[in-house]
Structure 1
């Protein structure tokens, strides 16, 4: 901030600006000792802008005085830890007053009030702030009227709301440093209200992300028993359910300050104790205030003394930013062991240069008239300060040399807390706004009001709003302080870890942050390695309704229970789960299959009938053998082509039949390898055509026998059909029909290489997709038709009186042929994988071998072993 203009500083009067309340004349307020009525005092939080103790800050000297009434048990008590809030206020004011660039020639002052954690006292303290005539003012009576400009407070949302009800009427700026629930923010929508902390709703997202990070799906839910707690419950429950998290129980906890009836104690014991002990949850969400921590700690220690030394009764607490780990009175001797390892959100803070030095310089005898500090000192160090400044040698007497940094964390902290940091920023925000307004008024006065009094003597609180709302500055920690459009302080929440030490003190370990402006899903950053867990856990705790469902199984909801409670059921056949706690098993891709434990997908191997396996070798050997035999038979018939048996059976048809059978045997080799495009195109078409030739030759032979017999009858007109022309016509016509079917097949929907993923579980079958099943079965059907015709004709001609009659052998061969292919169709359809190919090869070999054996082996027998029967005379004799 730049210094004020010279015309603003030329004044015969100095102003002392008070934040709460503010502006007074140079004359210091005189102390008037007015005892505080006993019924006004209840143990409560130290609230800036609402405290019975009054701090009067003049220049650089801090002057205090306070009179504290006793409790019902005659024990003077206070929440010593909150004393830092007032000291942070004093530290900020002191720094501003020492800085000549901010409000030169103006000294900031302040008053501090306590609400005693009571609604009536909150209204009373607020009215005291607003009172101009000093009809009543505890502990102080001033000579001149106050000019209230701004209020900082309070810590609790209910306190701030009650204050705003009165302050808002006068449009007095109110800067709250406590975290507010969305409900309280709605209730406190006032043009004069400012939040020094980010919106609490961001913590809800942070809690969800935290639970998801550690996989905690079964949690307990505690909330303070007020409107904010109920609103938190209403907001969190559906939010938890949407993210797959269930609540094991929900309990409301009263504040310590309202714990004043036996019924409250009984309710707390019966509800909370049962929930803690009986629940299987290891993680609890705790929404409350600092007084709620005192209430819960008291219950845990007094509810069951056995819990003290039993480390098995330790849980992970997830707490919101409203909570501060405080202990008051006798509770400070208990410690916070139950909250060891707690993870909590905190208003972001930084250690400020000089703050700890400022705290170390606070001594009970160094500041004159410091009655409040005296009570704090006695309670914090458990000793008694003598009335005089002479040191007493009585046991239990304070020496005045005690050090604040020796106190445990629940009593007092040396490091600046998030709430104190917010107070510090609030003081600077008000000072900077005053400075900006001062400059604005001075600039205006320099032009139009030259010669008038200083520009701050007649300020009104409502005039501060435009400057305060748009204020933006860097504090001494180098962080930007500004309000957004909703008058909220932006920024992040720190994620902290509570570490309890043996001396009952504790440390706050920063383990991450919650950034509401980050991309969805990345709002929370956690350094898991830095977390100290409760002693019962040697690793990241597990908080689920039941044990994890490991890979190979999936969750199945239990009837009548929440969706987080489930049974672990093995994955069904054909499915796997490769993660824990999966909702449903998944199917593997077509080219993978489930492992034995059904926890992963294994790549299927490619399967096809090859020469490298025994079955393939066997079929190839049989094919080669039959091919050689066919060649041998053909050689025999060629060698003995002039013998009566060969000549009588039409040599050309015989040669054609033997060659077609040879091709039939060889065509089976096309099936013994991994399919490629060429082999897929040739397999079925080659097989269909060569078998059509073979069966056509057999049909031609049979018809020729019938025609030859009928031509021997006198006067028969069939003689003209006897000869090669009829046989060739039959073979050519039958073959062309099959060739036409195959050509149409290849032209419209040709076979192609394919992988069958479904037939076998662990293998992908490399096969030829037939393209069109209709065309494939048309080829087989046509072969079957030719075979049936040949069988029928041969069966009718089997008893014709001809020594060269082959009809009997043809009948038997076609009977084998038809039987093989009739069995082929159902067997082929019921077989999977490479065995389908083996069935087809076997059918080709068996049917071809049947034709070869039944038709040609008897002739070879006569030609080779009984040559004496292969003579014309012998044949004629047999006919007679």
Structure 2
């Protein structure tokens, strides 16, 4: 209303021709709540009352003055602090000697309209010429205020064009750091940029990833919450909801409370102004909403007004950042008596305040606080007001060229813009030890105390300090929190959990839920061969080549190494049959040795028979080299021993087959063939055939020998330790040579199968070679397709099967006659009835 009147006044001034060009007041002047004259003047604007009642605007009569009610104890103490600091400076002999500071303090009643009225009152002054003509000169050098950001924005924008410095004690909105828009604004509280980041730090530090957010729908709340939301997003913290309301919007407040009730987040960050927080706490208490951990900001976290049994039921355990507490020496005593005696208008003589047409009834609510002093120590903003007053005093001290002995130059005219420049350069210490200086944005270094709402055993409430936040320290070191001293919501000693999804344990990874924030996820087990060894891993990482994931998928362990060992069932069985073959061969050799003079042993070429039995023994034993952990030597030995022993064995069988053929060829008239294949030639043939295989093996071992190889391709979860062939050509050359000899032996034996039965072993050799070839033809596809240790087992089986085939097919019939039918082991029986048979036997 008054703003409208001033607009009309300006319009009237521009469009009427009057001789007097000075402004003329219209309506009743707005007088300050407290004032005192001085050589220099500091203004103050505080919301000493909370509620403002508007008069009737029916325009049937002159509107009555605005009515204020409901004392705001906090701002009342701030006004007291300002007066206390000014009186302290006025008594000082070192700061502004012989200069007195006056003050003009207005009450805004928590109203934007009254804030504007107070600003106009401060800027215009209260001195009028004849006929209520204002003198056009403001005596103001600086303004201390306002308490709330929105009011401070109005104040700074209005005084900005006149370059009047404004120093706020509690307006912390980051928006006020813009020196282009607010060039003459300063504050003795740090910017909310730091407090918003501090809120994000404490949420992250305490492990909460799922929070709700509530803020005041004003400059303070909106700017602070915007910085908080941006910071938590960078930190990977999710906000379930972000709602806001203003003190004049009860419907929005109800929606905010409903959102809190329905939400799953157990932690609520309340970036809320002092007045709005009182309304929110009231609603939470009425609806008995408990169990939420409140994280608060400095305007309300240390407000004694909210410390009641009902509010504590809903808000107990609240945690937040508060302005550092500084005890101002002497203020507690001053707030009780000296203030009321010297500064309070109703305590003055009638002559001092009658000129303002004031009635003591206006101060009735304040008079009730005359002897109240319990809250003085908890008003943390008092030191900020104290610093602001001293900052102005030090600026004036430098501008007035004050000297301790000589005093200050009173004749100098100080303009507000000079004070602005001087404030930028101050750097001093107050009695508490804190230094006061302003950075490039007009703010101070951010230092917060972390406080916790607690209840003592005697039922009393207190704000307990549980840590601090210092923005000047490096990141991750600026927050120091004593978690052991914190009492959480509901009086719990255990920190509440507030997550959208429980943490994914090691061995799993996070998978985002479609359409939901990143903090809402499912825990997916890592795939085989992958691990995650941290909680809440985003990805699983694969294990290195020789490693594999354990059962829990949280550690890489060495892969199981697989090879055919002597201790497993398969190895034991194969060793048994190998040794069994050696034993049977040895028994046959002993039997043949004992019966070496019998016709059947002689008829079967005993020398080649014993050599064949020896080579079969080696064949059985060479299978043992395939069992056990492969080494460089064992890999070379197993393949060469196999190749040479089998060639020796086949060479003996081939020699026996040739002897049979030669013997029957020798029975023909005039044939002298046996002289070309006697015992010496038989031994040489075996040696020659064997030396060829030896030469192949030497070349193989020289050029590219077999070696131990860790096969990680066939199985992902284990390593197959096997012998790599080195040169596959060498391996197949060895097999091909054995196959060639076996095929030749089979053909010759097949041709001799129709010779006389009694002593002809060609048919037995034919059958043994048939088994031998069948085994090794079957071996090739089985060898190629068998995995891991089964490849070795197949090879051993082929060696044993072919060895047993040769042993039983060639020697079993002879052993049968020697042991079971000794009557047939005679020369007469072996010679038969025909002449040709007799001749053949002699030749053989």
How far apart in 1 are the matches of 2:297 and 2:705?
70
The residue number in structure 1 matching 2:750 is 796
Residues 279-302 of structure 1, C-alpha deviation per residue, up to 9 Å, x if partnerless?
12211122221122123124334x
Preserved CA contact (<8 Å) 2:722 2:788: no
- Counterpart among 258, 261, 272 of residue 256 in structure 2: 272
Q: How does 1:507-526 map to 2 (within 5 A)?
A: 507-526=462-481
The residue number in structure 2 matching 1:404 is 373
Measure how far apart 1:421 and its partner are. 3.3
Measure how far apart 1:414 and its partner are. 1.5
The residue number in structure 2 matching 1:344 is 320
Residue range with higher mean Cα deviation, 475-484 or 489-498: 475-484
Instruction: Note if 1:214 corresponds to 2:206.
Output: yes
Q: How does 1:156-167 map to 2 (within 5 A)?
A: 156-167=148-159
How far apart in 2 are the matches of 1:617 and 1:631?
21
Q: How does 1:51-70 map to 2 (within 5 A)?
A: 52-56=32-36
The residue number in structure 2 matching 1:196 is 188
Measure how far apart 1:79 and its partner are. 1.4
Change (3 A) 1:146 1:359: farther
- Counterpart among 293, 297, 312 of residue 316 in structure 1: 293
Measure how far apart 1:496 and its partner are. 2.6
The alignment partner of 2:832 has SS state of helix
The residue number in structure 1 matching 2:416 is 461
Measure how far apart 1:735 and its partner are. 5.5
Residues 271-324 of structure 1, C-alpha deviation per residue, up to 9 Å, x if partnerless?
2132122112211122221122123124334xxx4x33x6xx331122234545
TM-score in terms of structure 2 length: 0.76
How far apart in 2 are the matches of 1:277 and 1:467?
52
- Counterpart among 319, 325, 341 of residue 368 in structure 1: 341
Instruction: Note if 1:854 corresponds to 2:784.
Output: no
How far apart in 2 are the matches of 1:202 and 1:829?
71
The alignment partner of 1:368 has SS state of helix
The alignment partner of 1:247 has SS state of strand
How far apart in 2 are the matches of 1:65 and 1:277?
38
Change (3 A) 1:569 1:64: closer
The residue number in structure 2 matching 1:8 is none
Q: How does 1:799-814 map to 2 (within 5 A)?
A: 799-801=753-755, 804-814=759-769
| Equivalences, count | 778
Preserved CA contact (<8 Å) 1:696 1:735: no
- Counterpart among 365, 378, 382 of residue 415 in structure 1: 378
Instruction: Note if 1:629 corresponds to 2:584.
Output: yes
Residues 443-472 of structure 1, C-alpha deviation per residue, up to 9 Å, x if partnerless?
9xx9xxxx9982783333333455533443
Measure how far apart 1:155 and its partner are. 2.8
Q: How does 1:670-749 map to 2 (within 5 A)?
A: 670-702=625-657, 705-706=660-661, 722-723=677-678, 725=681, 728-729=684-685, 732-733=688-689, 736-737=692-693, 740=696, 743-744=699-700, 747-748=703-704
Change (3 A) 1:777 1:678: closer
Measure how far apart 1:566 and its partner are. 3.9
TM-score in terms of structure 1 length: 0.74
Rg larger in structure:
2
The alignment partner of 1:284 has SS state of strand
The residue number in structure 1 matching 2:69 is 76
Instruction: Note if 1:287 corresponds to 2:271.
Output: yes
The residue number in structure 2 matching 1:408 is none
Change (3 A) 1:52 1:223: farther
Q: How does 1:89-104 map to 2 (within 5 A)?
A: 89-93=82-86, 96-97=89-90, 100-104=93-97
- Counterpart among 615, 619, 622 of residue 667 in structure 1: 622
Q: How does 1:68-147 map to 2 (within 5 A)?
A: 71-72=52-53, 76-93=69-86, 96-97=89-90, 100-131=93-124, 134-135=127-128, 147=139
Q: How does 1:824-839 map to 2 (within 5 A)?
A: 824=779, 837-839=792-794
The residue number in structure 2 matching 1:46 is none
Measure how far apart 1:251 and its partner are. 1.4
The alignment partner of 2:335 has SS state of coil
Instruction: Note if 1:427 corresponds to 2:402.
Output: no
Preserved CA contact (<8 Å) 1:174 1:192: yes
For the aligned residues, what is the CA RMSD? Answer: 5.0
Preserved CA contact (<8 Å) 2:327 2:377: no
How far apart in 2 are the matches of 1:797 and 1:65?
129
Change (3 A) 1:857 1:119: same
How far apart in 2 are the matches of 1:628 and 1:226?
101
Measure how far apart 1:80 and its partner are. 0.9
How far apart in 2 are the matches of 1:229 and 1:612?
75
Measure how far apart 1:684 and its partner are. 3.3
How far apart in 2 are the matches of 1:69 and 1:346?
22
Instruction: Note if 1:492 corresponds to 2:477.
Output: no
Change (3 A) 1:112 1:639: farther
How far apart in 2 are the matches of 1:64 and 1:521?
39
How far apart in 1 are the matches of 2:183 and 2:108?
23
The alignment partner of 1:362 has SS state of helix
Measure how far apart 1:568 and its partner are. 5.2
The alignment partner of 1:112 has SS state of strand
Residues 95-132 of structure 1, C-alpha deviation per residue, up to 9 Å, x if partnerless?
55555444444444443334443444434433443336
Change (3 A) 1:528 1:69: closer
Change (3 A) 1:69 1:562: closer
How far apart in 1 are the matches of 2:710 and 2:730?
16
Change (3 A) 1:477 1:683: farther
Change (3 A) 1:546 1:876: same
Instruction: Note if 1:877 corresponds to 2:839.
Output: no
How far apart in 2 are the matches of 1:661 and 1:854?
13
Residues 727-775 of structure 1, C-alpha deviation per residue, up to 9 Å, x if partnerless?
74576456635753575366436412648697485xx567334264846
The residue number in structure 1 matching 2:708 is 752
- Counterpart among 488, 496, 499 of residue 544 in structure 1: 499
- Counterpart among 591, 601, 612 of residue 657 in structure 1: 612
How far apart in 1 are the matches of 2:411 and 2:609?
130
Preserved CA contact (<8 Å) 2:301 2:321: no
Change (3 A) 1:212 1:454: closer
Measure how far apart 1:146 and its partner are. 5.6
The residue number in structure 2 matching 1:3 is none
Preserved CA contact (<8 Å) 2:700 2:727: no
Change (3 A) 1:129 1:212: same
Measure how far apart 1:344 and its partner are. 1.6
How far apart in 1 are the matches of 2:641 and 2:269?
77
Q: How does 1:634-653 map to 2 (within 5 A)?
A: 634-637=589-592, 653=608
Query: Structure 1 unaligned runs (5+)?
Result: 1-33, 41-50, 375-385, 406-411
How far apart in 2 are the matches of 1:115 and 1:710?
139
Residues 451-507 of structure 1, C-alpha deviation per residue, up to 9 Å, x if partnerless?
998278333333345553344344434344433444432243333322356999742
How far apart in 2 are the matches of 1:353 and 1:556?
55
How far apart in 2 are the matches of 1:387 and 1:179?
32
